[in-house]
Structure formats: C-alpha cells, structure tokens
Amino acid sequence: MEDFSAEQISGHLQVKHGAKSDWRLQYCLLDATCLYIFKTTPEDKALKIGISKGFSLEVVDIPDHVACFKFTTPPDHAFYFSAEDVAERDSWVAALQKALGGWFFVFPRPLSFPNFFLYLF
C-alpha cells in the first residue's frame, strides 16, 4: 500500500470519469503529488493521477448535483467530482490548488461567461 503521510484531504465523492460515464461513489485521496481515486476504500487498487502543470480545475454546475468541480488532465481527460456540500467542494478545490503549487487559478461562479478557467504553462 502507498504511504499517504503527506495526505492533504480524503473522503468519498461522487466521481464521473468523462462526460459520458455514470456517477459512482468513490474514495478519493489527495497528497502532495498525486490524486488517488479508489473503487470504495483505500485498500482497493487506485487510479493514480500525478499532479503537474498543465492541469485545469473548474467549479461547474451540473443538474442534480449540488457542489461540483471538474479536474482536467492533459491531453484533455476530464474527471467530474460532486461533494456533499459547497464547503466540502471548496476544501477539495483549495487542496488541489495547493498540490499544484499555484500553476492555475480557479474562478468561482458566477462569471460573465460560462465555464471560464485559466491555467498557466
């Protein structure tokens, strides 16, 4: 099992891998360098996403889900996450910002144009 001593945040989130997949309740864990998405518990095998520049993060509105964000990895694979409430979503977004070390900015809604985000290279 991985050493998660540098864990920043963890918990169950609804996760959707891409726009066409179904929502699944999965255990997620973020440490200083990776986002892990487990099937149900940390004992399961995880999808491990190394955090680096070129990633983007966006707070999104999704019907029937209260507090969502979208995490996009190069070359354009999107992961959608839905938290229990806005406070939990904001905690995840802040932790992801910290893990990326300021490589991008997240703009909360509302904005004058939909789904706007900026990331730096």
Tell whether 2 is covered by a domain.
no
Which residues have C-beta within 8 Å of that of residue 69, sequence separation ≥ 6? 57, 58, 59, 60, 80, 81, 83, 89, 92, 93
pLDDT of the chain along its 121 residues, tens only?
455 456 689 999 999 998 788 999 999 999 888 899 998 888 888 899 888 778 888 999 998 898 999 998 888 889 999 999 999 999 999 999 888 775 444 444 443 333 333 333 2
pLDDT, position 107? 42
pLDDT, position 118? 38
Look up residue 115 and give its two tokens. Answer: 């789904």
Tell whether 120 is covered by a domain.
no
pLDDT, position 69? 95
pLDDT, position 6? 60
Tell whether 92 is covered by a domain.
yes
Residue 110 CB-density burial (10 A; 0-12 exposed, 13-18 middle, 19+ buried): exposed
Helical (H) or strand (E) element with 86: helix 86-100
Q: Tell me which residue range forms the domain holding 35.
A: 9-102
pTM for this entry: 0.77
* Total structural domains within the chain: 1
CATH number at residue 58: 2.30.29.30
Tell whether 30 is covered by a domain.
yes
